[in-house]
Structure 1
């Protein structure tokens, strides 16, 4: 009996570790592909306007929708059943305190009825207003509401949430143009992520050399006689390997250059936010000083009145 119980504990512990590992991999995959999609959006915006027809935007919207829907709790009905929710139900509550928000406008849209369609309309409106990062940051700060809508292990409850708000900040530099009556708002079908633009296989130099050796071996085994004329192909393969190495170095350089431009834009936006915060801090300090001065004057007047009343008595 003791061995059976220990075996059951080992199985349950192993199952929990596998589940935690799968959840961590799922969160990491979604955050990584979201970072790639933001970068491709920024790159594409340098050449053309981003609208509903852009595949980069459609992929980004699908990724963000899955991130905000990750481990979203269902709604318990009166009969005890759990009905599915959309991430719009969370955004509508968590972002209601954002100044000049678009929540009421989206709720009153005539052509958008389902909750999922309203969430997709909110993503587009927030991008056109350049406030998507602000909405996400405000929602994540309301930890009580976030905990009420999401289960343990959700992306918005983990450390990845801070990364999400930071990477979305770079989208404020893009001018978006969307039609809120298009097919992209159809809430009947779930969003599907296209991972193929972000998949890239780079063959190592050791693997390339092994391929060359295999080709040499096949070529030598297929020929009936080894003559000096068969010395040419290895030299051509060496040239191809050098060409492949140069291509890889060029691709790494372009990737580094793109990342540098993205980070520079992110730093510029951060500096703008910092300057705005400093100015707001100065205004608050000035208000505090004015309130202290008014308080002191009011206190002096009250003390003077008290002294006069004491003299009269």
Structure 2
């Protein structure tokens, strides 16, 4: 029982530490995005900016959180970089930079390619789009990450929303610098995000400060409380005003950040509406073209059927005409025994084979007329003309 309780307690501690780690990484990422936005108001962000280097390290840690290793043939698990996951999960993104980064000559290691992808995606203002497309492919994400990873939890949606604000920044990076060296791991500097507070005697909550300011203002409206209290509490008044001013600036920056997010969402919505209209118009055009093609095919089928019927009709008519012409030919009358009467001519001569072949191929009146012209041209005489022609005597 004691061993079971110890194992359960150890498991609870591990899950609690993992939850704290995920929460800390997401919180630090939010702070780094905010510092990048603040820094971009004064100068261009490049590889030398410490805010960007810290952000790139944080994002690399998030994408590498509980990433599975690659199993080898011998059953060992070799380490893997987050670029292997991004390369597969973002392969279907239209006009992506995956192929260009994969073919870079000066970048060889997988970690260096992942860092180059972060920089190119920031310059393209599409980092949030890539992350969103990768998280949508849940099957691939599940295959690359273990349980408890940030990309498999609820924090993943927060990550995509935070990265959307970086589209308002113009980045300028060199893809041949030392920042792409994949030999050293990503190290996060937490010192810019640590909060140092004074003692509880000199600092109160924001509600108490506002209440004190309001009450002091109401008391100072009376003439008897203007002099000594104001001179005595001058330092405390100055500190309170400084804190309120700082709180106001933070609220103003958050307001600008949220306005930028709303503007980006409106642009995405308008683009989606435009694409939807184009797709609907394309569907209508396709249906119209399919309908026209169907009507044309039906018309062609009807024409072919009519031509087939007329062809059969002409075949029957030609067969009847050939039979009638053969029956009316005087040189081809048959007796009761099926032999031709004029098989032998007056001198014991037979008809030529060419004449018999031509007579057997007669199929129309036109061909019969051509036969008569052929007879006249070749000077082939019938038995009667042969008997009566001058210069010939019957044998």
TM-score, normalised to structure 2's length?
A: 0.67
Q: Indicate the SS of the match to 2:235.
A: helix
Q: Post-superposition shift, 1:22?
A: 1.5
Query: Paired residue for 1:171, among 157, 166, 169?
Result: 166
For structure 2, which runs of at least 5 residues remain unmatched after alignment?
205-228, 310-395
Q: Post-superposition shift, 1:188?
A: 1.2
Using the alignment, how far apart are the partners of 1:84 and 1:117 within structure 2?
Answer: 14
Query: Paired residue for 1:281, among 266, 276, 291?
Result: 276
RMSD: 2.4
Query: Paired residue for 2:248, among 236, 248, 253?
Result: 253
1:294 maps to 2:289? yes
**Per the alignment, do residues 190 and 8 of structure 1 end up closer, same or farther by CA in structure 2, a change over 3 Å counting?**
same
**Per the alignment, do residues 209 and 166 of structure 1 end up closer, same or farther by CA in structure 2, a change over 3 Å counting?**
closer
Cross-structure match for 2:202 = 208
Using the alignment, how far apart are the partners of 1:285 and 1:94 within structure 2?
Answer: 29
Question: Which of the two has higher C-alpha Rg?
Answer: 2
C-alpha deviations, 1:201-237, integer Å up to 9, x for none?
3457x53279xxxxxxxxxxxxxxxxxxxxxxx9988
Q: Indicate the SS of the match to 2:111.
A: helix
For structure 1, which runs of at least 5 residues remain unmatched after alignment?
211-233
1:75 maps to 2:70? yes
The correspondence of residues 29-44 of structure 1 with structure 2, limited to 5 A, is 29-44=24-39
Instruction: Tell me which protein shows more helix as a share of its residues.
Output: 1
Q: Indicate the SS of the match to 1:134.
A: helix
1:131 maps to 2:148? no
Q: Post-superposition shift, 1:306?
A: 6.0
Cross-structure match for 1:183 = 178
C-alpha deviations, 1:25-57, integer Å up to 9, x for none?
111111111111111111111110100110110
C-alpha deviations, 1:251-271, integer Å up to 9, x for none?
111111111111111111111
Q: Which segment drifts farther, 193-202 or 116-125? A: 193-202
1:63 maps to 2:58? yes
Using the alignment, how far apart are the partners of 2:276 and 2:75 within structure 1?
Answer: 49
Q: Indicate the SS of the match to 2:108.
A: coil
Q: Post-superposition shift, 1:244?
A: 2.4
Q: Relative contact order, CA 8 A, sep 6+: which one is greater? A: 1
TM-score, normalised to structure 1's length?
A: 0.83
Using the alignment, how far apart are the partners of 1:16 and 1:289 within structure 2?
Answer: 59
Q: Indicate the SS of the match to 2:202.
A: helix
* Number of equivalenced pairs: 284
Using the alignment, how far apart are the partners of 2:153 and 2:100 within structure 1?
Answer: 30
C-alpha deviations, 1:171-220, integer Å up to 9, x for none?
1111111111211111111111111111223457x53279xxxxxxxxxx
**Per the alignment, do residues 263 and 118 of structure 1 end up closer, same or farther by CA in structure 2, a change over 3 Å counting?**
same
